[in-house]
Chain A
Amino acid sequence: MPQEDVAQFTVRSVQVLAEDETVDDELVPELTDDQLLDLYEQMKRSRRLDERGIALQRRGELGTYAPAIGQEAAQVGSAYALADDDWLVPSFREQAALLTHGTDPEQILQYAMGMEEGAEIPGGKGALPPAIPVGSQPLHAVGIGWGEALQDRDTIAITYFGDGATSEGDVYEAFNFAGVSDSQTVFICQNNRYAISTGVEKQTKAKTLAQKAIAAGIEGVQVDGNDVLGVYRVAREAVEKARNGNPVLIEALTYRRSMHTTSDDPTAYRGHEEEAEWELRDPILRFQVFLENREILDEETEGTIDERIESELADAIDQANKERQAIDPADMFRFVYDDMPSELEQQSDAFEEGVEGDTDG
């Protein structure tokens, strides 16, 4: 035969809790009522942190802030599938995932206040600091998932990035490297439709981002990223596969409901109609109706959750502000090397004495 098809592919897409509130009972993950409430609370905690973050930035108390409003299901649902010692390798918009995996809101605030302290991961929880360069961090996750495998552990790494990031060469390298090294990695691409102002249709001609896995020989799957049950289900499966050395790329279809960062004005590139449409598909609203329909959530429980979140956040903001008042500027010299080279020591001493540069002493 002079020509034949040697490979064919399909891309699976998953949804458990649909926009119209219908539920695919067979696909509902096995979670207790408390766990379901936990998912809900984590999503709300992140939403409130982001809302307060925007407000604090407007008052000049935070620097540029990248809210994840609208993407809570994609992040919380996936991070909830992790074991405590699994690694989380975030980009710069992963408040919801980080909170779910155990990071304190105070740290997220410290980082947003321009303090390196916020990038320090306490308690040995496996997470890397936020990665600002787009698409640079999936390779770190692949290295982690590879390193864990080489040391015969079944700990995995999950990494988060956006639709724009899939255009970066590093991200292709990560998929490919993960495949050939059987790295214990789960990739979560949050397709929130925009890379700053650039729509996903200008990012790629591919019909899905999940299919970018195929060229690397790893599994790619799409999920409704505003359906926390769907995301959890798909992530749970992916995490188990990754523990066995089979990396998976999940494309979570979602929408960034607010601005790219507090420096951005989305009205310059998208219409109110589109935003209104996605407001109706909000992941928290959708899950709340599910919980109410199943009588897992009532007004009283909701009130208790909201109060808890508000008081925790108020404490975190207070604490972060206190730390900010007390920062030591000489800290910038401290963690560059294990053993400070003499050149740097001279600069550091001069800095502390306020005379810098005079190497004669």
Chain B
Amino acid sequence: MAERLRMVEAVRDTLDAELARDDSVVVYGEDVGRVGGVFRATQGLINDYPDRVFDTPVAEAGIIGTGVGLAATGMKPVAEIQFQSFLYQGFHQLAQHVARIRSRSRGTITCPMTIRMPYGGGIHALELHSESYEAGFSHLPGLQVVFPSSPAETKGLLTSAIRDPDPVIFMEPTRLYRSFREEVPDQHKIPLGEARVVEFGDDVTVVAWGSMLRKTLDAVNDVEASVEVIDPRTLYPLDTQTIVESVKKTGRCVVVHEAPKTAGMGGEITARINEEAFLYLEAPVERVTGYDVPVPLFAREDDYLPDEDRIRNGISRALEFG
């Protein structure tokens, strides 16, 4: 049975299903219990699973670090970090232990942990509530970095993330939490590491994920050319093949992300295209991204975030080159 859910409801639905399916799953984080999280993504779960859903102290290093220990005892920690920027308070635990415990212990101790967090701008939030530090996570060997872009994608990807034997960073675009509903099948699993071709086209490839995928789809509605839109869905592992195949067909590519340009994932994707499809390129790969500045407070946030115009301009530059 498929239900029409919002993204935030799809998160809840998935957590509920996984808690029911597997006694070793624990859901915890700041305010996730009694009120069900600041976005209500865990609402009500504590009533059904009072022993496996916890409110924690305000301590991100604690939330992430205890995950390593919980996992060592056979639990499957699913932690919420209230906003992506507050993961920094626990970044050392992520980088030094979560990402490395398998290799450090030569596979004897593993960390099948899922760390969910809202990320990204567009909801006029406070300072440090709008970042997307995706390249930083993708840069840490041992982690998988997942970006859902719709309610059904959320269910499919989160299910796989929780069942995965290795740690997963699950980045939930706050902007999409309540923006639309979609049919979400009951049983639904999307393998990590597989991109989705969202729209087929021949003239130019656009790669975008999370909330930027939605912006891109809106933008290409008004583009004359035939645009192929790809959602990589996971940034690590990255499905290079799907992107490269597409670029071999179109010869042109635009990468869209809201994180800053320098050292962003746009650079990585461009490099992989250069490595594997250089001779097919008819234009340099374009990047449409946030700027190399701290995400401004909300009075100027719209000027920072890529919008439909900027995406269309990027596409025109790619199309008009040469």
A binds B: yes
A195 and chain B: residue at smallest CB distance: B58
Give how many A-B residue pairs fall within 8 Å (CB-CB). Answer: 128
Interface segment out of the listed A196-204, A224-232, A273-281, A294-302: A196-204
A268 touches B57 (CB 8 A): no
Bound form: Cα–Cα A164–B60 in Å: 12
A357 touches B288 (CB 8 A): yes
Inside 8 A of B126's CB, which chain A residues have their CB? 63-64, 92, 132, 261
CB 8 Å contact bits of B284-322 with A (1 = contact, 0 = none): 001111011110111111011000001001100100000
A115 touches B299 (CB 8 A): yes
Question: CB within 8 A of B59: which of A167, A327, A347, A348?
Answer: A167
Bound form: Cα–Cα A137–B86 in Å: 14
Bound form: Cα–Cα A198–B317 in Å: 51
Question: CB within 8 A of A114: which of B58, B59, B300?
Answer: B300
- CB of A165 within 8 Å of the partner chain: yes
We find that the number of chain B residues with CB closer than 8 angstroms to chain A is 44
B34 touches A167 (CB 8 A): no
Question: CB within 8 A of B89: which of A168, A263, A329, A344?
Answer: A168
A63 touches B62 (CB 8 A): no
B58 touches A164 (CB 8 A): yes
Question: CB within 8 A of B58: which of A167, A343, A344, A348?
Answer: A167
B124 touches A198 (CB 8 A): no
B57 touches A203 (CB 8 A): yes
We find that the number of chain A residues with CB closer than 8 angstroms to chain B is 48
Interface segment out of the listed A120-128, A238-246, A308-316, A331-339: A331-339
Give the interface centre of B38, B89, B294, B299 by most chain A CB atoms within 10 Å: B299
Q: What is the CB-to-nearest-CB distance from B127 to chain A, in angstroms, rounded to a whole number?
A: 5
Inside 8 A of A333's CB, which chain B residues have their CB? 291, 293
A115 touches B303 (CB 8 A): no
Take A357-B286, A357-B287 as given contacts and tell me if A336 and B294 are in contact as well, using a CB distance cutoff of 8 Å. Answer: yes
Q: What is the CB-to-nearest-CB distance from A114 to chain B, in angstroms, rounded to a whole number?
A: 4
B297 touches A357 (CB 8 A): no
A203 touches B58 (CB 8 A): yes
- CB of B73 within 8 Å of the partner chain: no
Take A135-B58, A197-B34, A347-B261 as given contacts and tell me if A63 and B125 are in contact as well, using a CB distance cutoff of 8 Å. Answer: yes
Take A133-B89, A168-B59 as given contacts and tell me if A332 and B296 are in contact as well, using a CB distance cutoff of 8 Å. Answer: yes
CB 8 Å contact bits of A107-125 with B (1 = contact, 0 = none): 0000101111000000000
Inside 8 A of A170's CB, which chain B residues have their CB? 89
Q: What is the CB-to-nearest-CB distance from B83 to chain A, in angstroms, rounded to a whole number?
A: 9
Question: CB within 8 A of B292: which of A132, A203, A327, A343?
Answer: A343
Main secondary structure of the interface of A (DSSP, over half): loop
B299 touches A196 (CB 8 A): no
Question: CB within 8 A of A347: which of B60, B128, B286, B292?
Answer: B292
A327 touches B300 (CB 8 A): yes
- CB of B55 within 8 Å of the partner chain: yes
- CB of B262 within 8 Å of the partner chain: yes
The residues in A between 173 and 226 inclusive whose CB is less than 8 angstroms from any CB of B are 195-198, 202-204
CB 8 Å contact bits of B225-266 with A (1 = contact, 0 = none): 000000000000000000000000000000000000110000
Q: What is the CB-to-nearest-CB distance from A53 to chain B, in angstroms, rounded to a whole number?
A: 13
A269 touches B292 (CB 8 A): no
Bound form: Cα–Cα A162–B156 in Å: 39
Q: What is the CB-to-nearest-CB distance from B319 to chain A, in angstroms, rounded to a whole number?
A: 13
Question: CB within 8 A of A132: which of B38, B128, B287, B299?
Answer: B128
The residues in A between 326 and 360 inclusive whose CB is less than 8 angstroms from any CB of B are 327, 329, 331-333, 336, 343-344, 347-348, 351, 355-358
Take A133-B128, A195-B30, A357-B287 as given contacts and tell me if A114 and B57 are in contact as well, using a CB distance cutoff of 8 Å. Answer: no
The residues in B between 75 and 130 inclusive whose CB is less than 8 angstroms from any CB of A are 85-86, 88-89, 124-129
Bound form: Cα–Cα A175–B262 in Å: 37
- CB of A14 within 8 Å of the partner chain: no
Inside 8 A of A116's CB, which chain B residues have their CB? 296-297, 300
B58 touches A165 (CB 8 A): yes
B262 touches A357 (CB 8 A): no
Question: CB within 8 A of B55: which of A130, A198, A324?
Answer: A198
A-B contact pairs, 5 of them (CB 8 A): A115-B299, A197-B35, A332-B300, A347-B291, A357-B314
5 further A-B contacts with Cβ under 8 Å, apart from A92-B126, A357-B289, are: A116-B296, A135-B89, A264-B38, A347-B292, A357-B286
Interface residues of B (CB under 8 A from A): 30-31, 34-35, 38, 55, 57-62, 85-86, 88-89, 124-129, 261-262, 286-289, 291-294, 296-301, 303-304, 310, 313-314, 317
Q: Which 3 A-B residue pairs are closest in the complex by CB-CB distance?
A: A114-B298, A167-B57, A114-B299
